[in-house]
Structure 1
Amino acid sequence: MDLDDEGRLRNVFWADARSRAAYEYFGDVVTFDTTYLTNRYGIPFAPFIGVNHHGQSILLGAGLLSNEDTETFVWLFRMWLDCMNGRAPKAMITDQDRAMKSAIAIVFPETRYRYCFWHIMRKLPEKLGSHAQFNAGLKTDLQTALYDSHTSGEFEESWGQVIAKYDLHDNKWLQSLYEERSFWVPAYLKSVLWAGMSTTQRSESMNAFFDGYVHSSTTLKEFVDQFDNALRKKVELETMADFNSNNQTIPCVSHFNIEKQFQRCICVGSLEKGVKEDIHISQK
């Protein structure tokens, strides 16, 4: 807990034992977002989210913040890092918040982080919608430059062509994005493991999950109790996924015969392994 000079509660951080244990296995890539509860309570709920071996979102710690400045984020990140035995994540996904960016540079200097790609693309209509050719080629050409560029060189060339073609040299928003291209353009981020994530959608899906447990009149104490209930539900879902993965055959996702053949080989291999283990045990 972080108290002000008058002893009043300012910021709170907590992580349970299961979150700390999960971080040992799934702490390579973390998403961090502070949008949840802000509009309802006036204080942001700040969860650290990872992804487990079932592709499920998992909570790796959380905080309730009184402010969203660099000092507050530095405090939160340091508390979280200390709780996780000083092991910083290898990669982190956040929004474009400047205070958050500064705090990451201070607390996680070796962590590679990126901006949420979806939030940037979502701003295209707002920032460029007034352009006469926005729906007549500009939007498509920008998306092509971003999605179809496999190297930084290809992106540089495509981006330059778009800027010249639509006379966007004076657009300050695009200029600022270009200056920070290494933080969000896919071509610059391919050398880093992101566990299939490029956005803070994991954080947002976790926020939606908590909607079933908290509401606008929830007190701080009730929030913590409901938080524990939500975590228990998450544990149940993960346990169920563990059971299903060990007792069910993974269905094919295509109609190709090679996938069906691979599925049969895996099933037979697992069966043979089990039989050999049984024989070995009986021989002992």
Structure 2
Amino acid sequence: MGYKNCGRDIRDFIGERDAQMLVDKMNARCKNKENYTFDTQIVDTELQLLFWCDNVSKMNYEAFGDVLAFDATYHTNMYDMIFVPFTSVDHHKKCTIFGVGLLHNETIESYTWLLQKFLQAHNDRQPLLVLTDQDCAMKQAVSNLFDKSHHRLCMWHIVQKIPSKIKGDNLTNIEIKEKFHKLVWNAYIKPETFEKRWNLLIAEYGLESHKWLTEMFSIREQWIPGYFREIPMCTLMKTISRCESANRMFKADSSAHNTLVQFMLCYDTSIDGLRNKQRELCNHTETTNPEKYKTSYRIERYANVIYTRKIFYGVQKEIFKGT
């Protein structure tokens, strides 16, 4: 009850000054923090679009920005502004944030503005691979702005639709789902092999005229792993689950009742926790050694010197398999 009253009192204190207080706070950060970026779009005194990115996010993008994913989430503030974090995976295989946006709607114009500000903040460097869901406005904006990047659709969002798109009894549906899963998630087969196996699977269940499957096959180059196999880091992320993980983290600290000022406080708390965890993992790597080595090879010891612990265990497994 005391917490709820405190939140109510804060909202009462902020009143109608919410947007201005946030803008003032972010402008102060631009003045007082090194390499801090903050941009807005204001139409008829209404704050409609925001983007911000600090120096740590810029350094993380420089190090880990080969693959970029972003996704929209909702109910993080009382104005229903859409929260869009730009995420990827760091050298501990943990989520890292490259920048954040708040949008008043999901139009091509809004996403275009956001991606323009993102590129400006990162010296116009484009990632090798951009991962999104099938949102039409988002896809168009990515195509317009990231002309040097490969755009990949989230596999999970497509595959999860199979049971609802294919009619049949439960046993047949489960069987089809298992076979499609086995095929589409295979990152080791070449495109021509995938196409041959897909056609055989379609013929097996008499699905040659199935509209949705035909449509998914027509855009196979946008989501099937085999078509990305020549792109460096292509298997780092196949879904936008990192975005959704980040969204859950931020939503756990925020709520749909929060003002923009409260939302920003919650965001700061979440991002500080994320970065503190990264520091802890770096310290663990630098100050400890693995419990045991699996071979007598010097390369295994050297791998422990140059890699984080999480990456080392993956490399160690491959070294051991080669013995």
Under a length normalisation based on structure 2, what TM-score does the superposition of the two structures give? 0.75
Q: Which amino acid aligns with 1:96?
A: Q
Q: Are 1:259 and 2:259 an aligned pair?
A: no
Aligned equivalent of 2:222: 183
Worse-matched range after superposition: 33-42 or 203-212: 33-42
Q: What is the identity, as a one-letter code, of the residue corresponding to 2:51?
A: F
Which residues of structure 2 form unaligned runs of 5+?
1-39, 306-323
CA contact 2:133–2:154 (8 Å) conserved in 1: yes
Partner residue, 1:165: 204
Do 2:163 and 2:174's aligned partners in 1 also have CA atoms closer than 8 Å?
Answer: no
Residue of structure 1 in register with 2:147 after alignment: 109
1:247 equivalenced with 2:287 (yes/no): yes
Q: Within 5 Å, which residues of 2 pair with 1:199-210?
A: 199-210=239-250
Q: Does residue 34 of the first structure (1) align with residue 69 of the second (2)?
A: no
Q: Is the 8 A contact 1:249 1:267 kept in 2?
A: no
Sequence identity (%): 31
Deviation at 1:264, TM superposition (A): 9.9
Structure 1: which 5+ residue stretches go unaligned? 253-257, 271-284
| Corresponding residue of 1:140 | 178
Counterparts of 2:153 and 2:129, CA distance in 1: 11
User: Secondary structure at the residue paired with 1:259?
Assistant: coil
CA deviation digits over 1:28-71, x for unaligned, max 9?
Answer: 11111113437986332100002111111111101111111111
Give 1:61's match in structure 2, choosing from 90, 99, 123: 99
Relative distance call for 1:28 and 1:79 in structure 2 (3 A) is: same
Q: Does 1:219 align with 2:259?
A: yes
Pair 251,106 (structure 1): closer, same or farther in 2 beyond 3 Å: farther
Distance across 1 between alignment mates of 2:128 and 2:303: 37
CA contact (8 A) 1:32 1:203 kept: yes
The answer as to whether partners of 2:75 and 2:255 remain within 8 angstroms in 1 is no
Equivalent residue letter for 1:182: E
Question: Which of residues 62, 82, 85 in structure 1 aligns to 2:123?
Answer: 85
Which structure has more relative contact order (CA 8 Å, sep 6+)? It is: 2
CA contact 2:41–2:47 (8 Å) conserved in 1: yes
2:194 is paired with a residue whose SS is helix
CA distance in 2, matches of 1:108, 1:32: 13
Shift of 1:263: 8.5
CA RMSD, Structure 1 to Structure 2 (Å): 2.5
Change (3 A) 1:166 1:191: same
Question: TM-score under structure 1 normalisation?
Answer: 0.85
Report the more deviating stretch, 259-268 or 122-131.
259-268
Could you give the per-residue CA deviations for residues 147-170 of structure 1, whole angstroms, max 9, x where no partner exists? Answer: 446011111111111122212122
Q: Any idea what SS the aligned residue of 1:31 has? A: strand
